Amino acid sequence: MMGLLAEIELIIDNLHKWAAPQHVKKNLTTMGDDVYINYEPLGVVLVIGAWNYPLVVVLQPVVGAIAAGNAVVIKPSEVAEHTAKLLEKIVPRYLDKELYPVVNGGVPETTKLLAERFDHIFYTGNTSVGKIIMQAAAKFLTPVTLELGGKSPCYIDKDCDIDIASRRITWGKFVNCGQTCIAPDYVLCDKSIQGKLIEKIKETLKEFYGENPKESQDYERIINQRHFKRVLGLLQGEKVAIGGEHDESSCYIAPTVLIDVKPNAKVMQEEIFGPLLPIITVKDVDEAIQFINQKEKPLALYAFANDKKVFGYPCVQNLGPDC
């Protein structure tokens, strides 16, 4: 919530400048005119939220849309049902329910919303649903903002500081039980450092979550049974170096590191969105780049190296905002 509050404060401090008419350079045809760009609200915006951070992910685009002068239809994720009910209860207390209605429900309700004409649609979630939303928006030529997921790789150079790399990867991967869109999805590293990396991750996990993560108040759970079974299905048949324990009754899956993972394994074919971290060995940064480029463009790339030349590769420069 701190990020959301900071964004609200940023908007309050700067909205008068952002919304002000922007004067532009004149040309021969406009020499005698007062030429400027005047910003206007789009109209009615639909915000469809995600379940992994159900307050922030929904409210951040809502804040921006309201600041720009739009009416907003708010559709929280039905997967995080308690948060969805909370939003339905509290939003009308502070915002005009005619201008900022909260619509709860599942696929049927979302489908009905997408049949309506909006002036902009903002969606956070997976790629398959993103395609459905874009297809529905195309009927009215409605512009969309799609914040989708992907398999965000980590490249660890053999000469980097393994302590720093393992600590940052462990935090980024296992916070919120791996259910973060820019969480490290898999690791590419030289075989010579794989053993040390695993040991350092094991040490860091103990520091973060104690001897038994299941008993830690800081370690979360998979959101529901459906996603628990999906993540567990990705684990089947893989070689476990750390973790692997699970409990269906509480949707618990331990922080898990996998080794000897084949590039065509099931766990490498989709965004994991759970506490499984596959490690794949490569010879060097060139092989790592080749591996990454064979897949869809990820949302983020994490590279750990002491050699600044590694960060000069076009792949590292262009793949994503989080390096």
| Domain identity same for 61 and 45 | yes
Average pLDDT estimate for 280-285: 94
User: Do the domain assignments include residue 301?
Assistant: yes
User: Do the domain assignments include residue 63?
Assistant: yes
pTM of the model: 0.87
Average pLDDT estimate for 214-240: 97
pLDDT given for residue 310 in this prediction: 72
**Locus of tokens 């239809």:** 73
| Domain identity same for 136 and 188 | no
CA angle 57, 130, 54 (to 5 degrees): 20
> What backbone phi and psi angles, to 5 degrees, belong to 156?
-115, 110
User: Do the domain assignments include residue 5?
Assistant: no
Give the tens place of pLDDT for each residue, 170-183: 999 999 999 999 99
Say how far apart CA 137 and CA 143 lie, in whole Å: 7
Instruction: Return the CATH number at 51.
Output: 3.40.605.10
Give the tens place of pLDDT for each residue, 150-172: 999 999 999 899 999 999 999 99
User: Do the domain assignments include residue 21?
Assistant: no
pLDDT given for residue 280 in this prediction: 97
Average pLDDT estimate for 218-239: 97
State the pLDDT confidence band at 1, using cuts at 50, 70 and 90.
confident
State the pLDDT confidence band at 318, using cuts at 50, 70 and 90.
very low
User: Do the domain assignments include residue 253?
Assistant: yes
Instruction: Return the CATH number at 157.
Output: 3.40.309.10
User: Do the domain assignments include residue 249?
Assistant: yes
Say how far apart CA 284 and CA 187 lie, in whole Å: 13
Give the tens place of pLDDT for each residue, 92-142: 999 999 999 999 999 999 999 999 999 999 999 989 999 999 999 999 999
Burial level of 129, CB count in 10 A (0-12/13-18/19+)?
A: middle
Average pLDDT estimate for 208-237: 97
Q: Is the pLDDT of residue 319 over 50?
A: no
Q: Is the pLDDT of residue 322 over 70?
A: no
pLDDT given for residue 312 in this prediction: 66
| Domain identity same for 174 and 135 | no
Give the tens place of pLDDT for each residue, 192-209: 999 999 999 999 999 999
| Domain identity same for 256 and 201 | yes
| Domain identity same for 105 and 187 | no
Q: How many domains does the chain have?
A: 2
Q: Is the pLDDT of residue 88 over 50?
A: yes
| Domain identity same for 170 and 306 | yes
Q: Which domain holds residue 108?
A: 40-148
Q: Which of 288, 294, 287, 289 is nearest to 314 (CA)?
A: 289
End position of a domain, from candidates 129, 148, 167: 148
| Domain identity same for 161 and 98 | no
Say how far apart CA 94 and CA 108 lie, in whole Å: 28
| Domain identity same for 72 and 53 | yes
Q: Do strands 276-281 and 186-189 pair parallel, antiparallel, or not at all (unpaired)?
A: parallel
State the pLDDT confidence band at 33, using cuts at 50, 70 and 90.
confident
pLDDT given for residue 235 in this prediction: 96
User: Above pLDDT 70, what percent of the chain?
Assistant: 96
Average pLDDT estimate for 274-292: 95
Say how far apart CA 289 and CA 258 lie, in whole Å: 21
**Dihedral of CA 243/247/252/258: which sign?**
positive
End position of a domain, from candidates 127, 148, 169: 148
Q: Is the pLDDT of residue 306 over 90?
A: no
Q: Which residues are catalytic?
A: 147
